[in-house]
């Protein structure tokens, strides 16, 4: 019995001391990738002339400084219908801006970026969006009884394939809530997108975007990856958007070039 007791104590002590060992994990560093954040938003009721595009390079996972802006690129957007060119000049920290952009609904635009001897390009169409007709708030339908459910309503145009992205940005957090919707089964009807929040007094900045089918698929997958959890969930992978390296099509470029008409409104949780 004494011998068994001594063995048990030694095993326990070994277990505790072994926990103090430092394991140095060698994490491989992937190749640096260009990140393109090119969302051209035309807010209803504005001219839409002021636009910006952000360029950066990816950083290692454990890097202390995650900011790696690209400041020496040449950036322009071209209306492929009439040939109009809009040059974006670098301002600060990888932000490229223009003040003379001319948005035209249903026209196609191409993005052209010259950087490090390579040409990066993408093409999209500027799509319209219907207006937000009303906002309703209730606490009866949410999954959590303490949450208030905010719904934005809008009328979907009949006979046209429409894809939507809704953004709810709270003054309580820097990360917006995003939701996508397609009108496959609700064409021509009144539709809604909802958001839940438990904090009375929360101020919401709400935006509704008209988006393309390809961007809808991209954002839907991105949202699903961010919402997945659990040890048996699929490990998220980097999503590749519509931006390509013309000189080297095999290069993985992160980000997306998108153009949307936007309707926006505000709401305070009561």
> Can you tell me the mean pLDDT for 119-131?
98
**Which pLDDT value is given to residue 143?**
55
> What was the pLDDT predicted at 51?
98
pLDDT in the model for residue 226: 81
Nearest 5°: phi and psi at 220? -60, -45
pLDDT of residue 6: 45
What is the CB-side half-sphere exposure of residue 157 using CA atoms within 13 A?
12
Residue 134 has pLDDT above 60, yes or no: yes
55-78 burial: b if 16+ Cβ within 10 Å, else e:
bbbbbeeeeeeeeeebeebebbbb
Fold match between domain 34-127+233-260 and domain 132-228: yes
Q: What is the mean pLDDT of residues 118-140?
A: 95
Domain boundaries, the chain: 34-127+233-260, 132-228
Which CATH code is given to the segment(s) 34-127+233-260?
2.60.40
Give the least confident one: 14-18, 32-36, 124-128, 204-208: 14-18
| Whether residue 3 has pLDDT greater than 50 | no
Give residue-wise pLDDT tens across range 189-225. 999 999 999 889 999 999 999 999 999 999 999 999 8
Q: Is 226 helix (H, G, I), strand (E, B) or coil?
A: helix
pTM of the entire structure?
0.84
pLDDT in tens, 218-256: 999 999 988 755 444 554 567 889 999 999 999 999 999
- Indicate the fold that domain 132-228 takes in CATH: Immunoglobulin-like (2.60.40)
Q: What is the pLDDT of residue 17?
A: 45
More confident residue, 254 or 146: 254
């Amino acid at each position: 019995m004494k011998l068994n007791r001594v063995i048990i104590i030694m095993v326990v002590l070994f277990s505790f001391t072994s926990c103090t060992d430092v394991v140095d994990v060698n994490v491989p560093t992937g190749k640096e990738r260009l990140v393109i954040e090119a969302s051209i938003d035309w807010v209803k009721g504005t001219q839409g002339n002021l636009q910006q595009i952000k360029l950066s390079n990816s950083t290692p996972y454990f890097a202390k400084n995650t900011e790696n802006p690209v400041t020496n690129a040449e950036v322009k957007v071209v209306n492929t219908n009439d040939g109009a060119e809009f040059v974006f000049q670098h301002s600060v920290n990888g932000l490229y801006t223009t003040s003379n952009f001319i948005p035209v609904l249903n026209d196609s635009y191409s993005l052209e970026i010259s950087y490090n001897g390579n040409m990066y390009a993408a093409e999209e169409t500027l799509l319209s969006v219907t207006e937000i007709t009303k906002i309703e708030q209730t606490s009866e339908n949410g999954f959590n009884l303490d949450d208030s459910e905010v719904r934005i309503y809008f009328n979907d145009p009949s006979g046209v394939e429409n894809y939507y992205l809704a953004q709810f940005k709270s003054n309580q957090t820097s990360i917006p809530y995003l939701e996508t919707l397609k009108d496959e089964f609700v064409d021509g009807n009144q539709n809604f997108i909802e958001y839940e929040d438990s904090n009375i007094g929360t101020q919401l900045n709400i935006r509704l975007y008209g988006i393309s089918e390809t961007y809808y698929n991209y954002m839907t997958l991105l949202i699903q990856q961010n919402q997945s959890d659990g040890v048996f969930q699929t490990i998220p992978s980097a999503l590749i958007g519509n931006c390509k390296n013309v000189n080297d099509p095999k290069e993985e470029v992160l980000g997306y070039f998108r153009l949307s008409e936007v309707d926006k409104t505000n709401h305070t949780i009561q």
